[in-house]
Amino acid sequence: MSLFTQKELCVPPEHQVPFNAKGSLVQLRSAEVALLVDCRGSGLPVILHWGADPGVLDDAELTALALVARPAVVPNALDEPHPVAVLPEHSGGWMGLPGLQGHRSGRDWSTQFTVDGVECVTVGEGGGALRVTASDSAAALELRLDLELTPSGLVRVEATVHNCGTDDYTLDGLVLALPLPDTATELLELTGRWGRERSPQRRPFGVSTHVRDSRRGRTGSDSTLLLVAGEAGFGFRSGQVWGVHVGWSGNHRTYAERLPSGEAVIGGGELLLSGEIRLGPGESYSTPVVHAVHGTGLDDLSHRFASYLRARPGHPSGPRPVIMNTWEAVYFDQNLERLAELAELGAKIGAELFVLDDGWFLGRRDDTRGLGDWFVDPDVWPQGLHLVVERVRALGMRFGLWVEPEMVNPDSDLARAHPDWILATGDRRPPLVRGQLVLDLTRPEAFEYLLERLDALVTEYHLDYLKWDHNRDLVDAGASVGGGAAVHAQTLAVYALLDTLRQRHPGLEIESCSSGGARVDLGVLARTDRVWASDCIDALERQAIQRWTGLLLPPELIGSHVGAPRSHTTGRRHDLSFRAGTALFGHFGIEWDLSAADQTELADLAEWVAFYRRHRDWLHRGRVVRVDSPDPATLVHGIVADDGHRALFAVVQLASSVTVAASRIRLPGLSPEARFTVRPATPGGTPATTALRPVPWLATGVTLSGRALAEIGLQAPPLQPEQLLLLDVQQEPDA
């Protein structure tokens, strides 16, 4: 039986004909990326090259490349140096972070795996996969390494370690890494906090270890999403870059390391807490998938992620519905009349899915109580939710509900009945965050309770959608029985809960929210349909948050709402065109008390909704383009349709520019030879000041080649700060 039988590969099944690659040099190629793997030695395979595709190489060239990759013998270092393997091993002389850390009561702390087998499938220019099995008989461990180059040029790596000894093996960490070239001298990563997720940070990458650890028990609002190493000065459109993302919603580590020898790697894995994984005889541990991506410019990385995600069978299909979310519209002030009015206004302007946010369940009149009691509160909803659900459906909209299953308020019937269901270390209660604690989902009764409650709600109301929230970091998260560190098991239990619910309700869509954007990763996205990028819907902040969330995710997976004219989180006021023109580049929604909007605002909003609905189909299949603007006060970004025939760009004025008259808007990403007509798009009317100070081409539109638009550009109209201009770009038929 093939080693691949159990494994889901991106490589199509008809191409999965494995061959024995032990003792070979393997070349995997796809989408202009190549991965050359040396499986000739007895030790773990070495990646000779990960980066730009050198084209098909014959055996002689592969052997020559392997030869030139051999490190020099230098004074006072190993007599026989080896290039580092995907799982770096100390026993081979790697002085950096070891891939596997663990021991058997102090023994077997350093491994030396010997390869038993290498199975491989290659699919010409469509990528391929390798499965390596190895063992260390002295340490009584077996290892399986899976490496795949997907059709979009993304590399997926994962490992499983198996204890074949007779006593426990304590696993302290298992990270996987890919080599970086000496030209990668700069690092880019993201950080953030509640309400301001995804702020970029750059630094030189010299001889050092740069580690981004996350111990929040969830992905974290400061999670880097991608750690990128690249050529000095790389941008969205230029410079070779290599990035890594760990697809995991618990504690995780991402790192880049360069040793004095010059060898450098970038990698990551799960971050294990002390004693968290003890493998009994016969037990195994599997890493999350580490995604590694190479390209020219950051846009290339994002495009590879987008193509990879869009090719998944479970990628949300069908037009992404316009969401009407009640949170910033009513907060906890829920009643039928108010919500029915909101639903009516929403339906009139074209909303398609109504999401009832926090505040509908037992005792939840504010954010200090009720979490855990997932029963509709009869004081607020005497007939259950049926009346509001019926009203919403009668208006032609679908219905969704907010839940926060993993959490519990001490002031809840659940916490009073089951104080022992809480993640805690011994008798010590973890500190409260937002007045809440975390339920131990590894405890079967707690898991079953949540599954029963969620299942019952989805069934009773035929829910189309759940907004699944998770509003705190995990602190002192010990298992309710025994008190051992439980983040790993909790993360798997949450995945199992999501998976079971989805199996039972295949049509149900789920949004991953976590105090805004604190659970954004490809682990949770394997079982959810979009993320809520931030609790801050101030369009100015959102320009940055969405730009950087977009490093990992395509627009259709990033929830983006039009809020009230005055932002609830920052107090800023923005025109509707700025708010809606920002939401347009994500999965569009509305989170605004429309009963406070006047007739003009409602009519303008309806135009924006219609515009989104008209264009979402191609926007959500297109290629995101972000321009490296020389002016930090201006952002230009857009989406080019997958057939290249059209594009939509936004010119965003963040602040006043130092210069005005000579600034240019460059529109890259279009086919260089084709000709395109550029015109302003003005759903909901033109912002008054843009109308007052147009540049001549805006009034008439202009037709130029893709090359001229990318390289010469258009005179920028003098926008006021916090204004946005949309440009509709259409290809002209060949002359």
381 lies in the binding site for ligand GLA (CB under 6 A): no
Helix axes 386-394, 336-349, angle to 10 degrees: 20
CA dist., res. 496 & res. 686, Å (int): 49
Q: Which is nearer to ligand GLA, 327 or 361 (CB)?
A: 327
Cβ atoms of 38 and 23 closer than 8 Å:
no
Task: Please report, as a single letter, which amino acid is at residue 331.
Answer: Y
Q: How far, CA to CA in Å, does 715 sit from each of 690, 704, 712?
A: 14, 13, 9
Q: Which is nearer to ligand GLA, 157 or 513 (CB)?
A: 513
3-state secondary structure of 187: strand
367 lies in the binding site for ligand GLA (CB under 6 A): yes
CB of 484 to ligand GLA, least distance (A): 29
CA dist., res. 13 & res. 493, Å (int): 30
327 lies in the binding site for ligand GLA (CB under 6 A): yes
Cβ atoms of 372 and 406 closer than 8 Å:
no
Q: Which is nearer to ligand GLA, 194 or 375 (CB)?
A: 194
Q: Which is nearer to ligand GLA, 402 or 676 (CB)?
A: 402
CB of 370 to ligand GLA, least distance (A): 11
Q: Which of residues 535-574 bind ligand GLA (CB under 6 A)?
A: 535
CB of 552 to ligand GLA, least distance (A): 19
Binding segment for ligand GLA among 135-143, 509-517, 581-589, 623-631 (CB under 6 A)? 509-517
Give 204's strand partners: 186
653 lies in the binding site for ligand GLA (CB under 6 A): no
Q: Which is nearer to ligand GLA, 327 or 676 (CB)?
A: 327
CB of 520 to ligand GLA, least distance (A): 12
Among 38, 136, 148, 358, binds ligand GLA (CB under 6 A): 358
Supply the residues annotated as catalytic: 469, 535
Q: Label residue 484 exposed, middle or buried (CB < 10 Å: 0-12, 13-18, 19+).
A: middle
CB of 358 to ligand GLA, least distance (A): 3
> Residue 121: what are its φ and ψ, rounded to 5°?
-125, 135
Calculate the dihedral angle through the C-alpha atoms of 214, 47, 228, 71, rounding to the nearest 10 degrees: 100
357 lies in the binding site for ligand GLA (CB under 6 A): yes
406 lies in the binding site for ligand GLA (CB under 6 A): no
Binding mask 273-312 for ligand GLA (x = CB under 6 A): ----------------------------------------
Among 307, 515, 549, 560, binds ligand GLA (CB under 6 A): 515
Q: Which is nearer to ligand GLA, 113 or 399 (CB)?
A: 399
Give 103's strand partners: 170
CB atoms within 10 A of CB 318: 7
Q: Residues touching ligand GLA: how many (CB under 6 A)?
A: 12
Buried b (16+ CB within 10 A) or exposed e, 1-10: eeebeeeebb
CB of 471 to ligand GLA, least distance (A): 5
Q: Which is nearer to ligand GLA, 569 or 715 (CB)?
A: 569
512 lies in the binding site for ligand GLA (CB under 6 A): no
Structure token pair of residue 478: 């010990």
Binding segment for ligand GLA among 343-351, 508-516, 626-634, 661-669 (CB under 6 A)? 508-516
| Sign (positive or negative) of CA dihedral 539, 544, 545, 547 | positive
Among 169, 402, 461, 548, binds ligand GLA (CB under 6 A): 402
Q: Which is nearer to ligand GLA, 50 or 532 (CB)?
A: 532
Binding segment for ligand GLA among 128-136, 416-424, 478-486, 513-521 (CB under 6 A)? 513-521
CB atoms within 10 A of CB 382: 10
Q: Which is nearer to ligand GLA, 356 or 710 (CB)?
A: 356
Cβ atoms of 322 and 374 closer than 8 Å:
no
Look at the chain and count its residues: 735
CB of 111 to ligand GLA, least distance (A): 43
CA dist., res. 582 & res. 538, Å (int): 9
CA dist., res. 108 & res. 14, Å (int): 42
Give 161's strand partners: 143, 285
Q: Which is nearer to ligand GLA, 248 or 468 (CB)?
A: 468
CB of 626 to ligand GLA, least distance (A): 26
Among 251, 334, 471, 663, binds ligand GLA (CB under 6 A): 471
CB of 591 to ligand GLA, least distance (A): 8
Q: What is the DSSP string of 30-41?
A: ETTEEEEEE--S
516 lies in the binding site for ligand GLA (CB under 6 A): yes
Structure token pair of residue 723: 């204004």
Q: Which helix (H) or strand (E) holds 461?
A: helix 444-461
Among 11, 322, 510, 513, binds ligand GLA (CB under 6 A): 513
Task: Please report, as a single letter, which amino acid is at residue 115.
Answer: V
CB of 611 to ligand GLA, least distance (A): 25
Q: Which of residues 25-64 bind ligand GLA (CB under 6 A)?
A: none
3-state secondary structure of 703: strand
Q: Of all residues in this chain, which one has the CB nearest to ligand GLA in the complex? A: 358
409 lies in the binding site for ligand GLA (CB under 6 A): no
Q: Strand pairing of 398-403 and 465-468?
A: parallel
Of 204, 198, 256, 190, the C-alpha closest to 233 is 204
Query: DSSP alpha helices (H): ranges in 325-443?
Result: 327-330, 336-349, 386-394, 413-417
Residue ranges that bind ligand GLA, judged by CB under 6 A: 327, 357-358, 367, 402, 469, 471, 513, 515-516, 532, 535
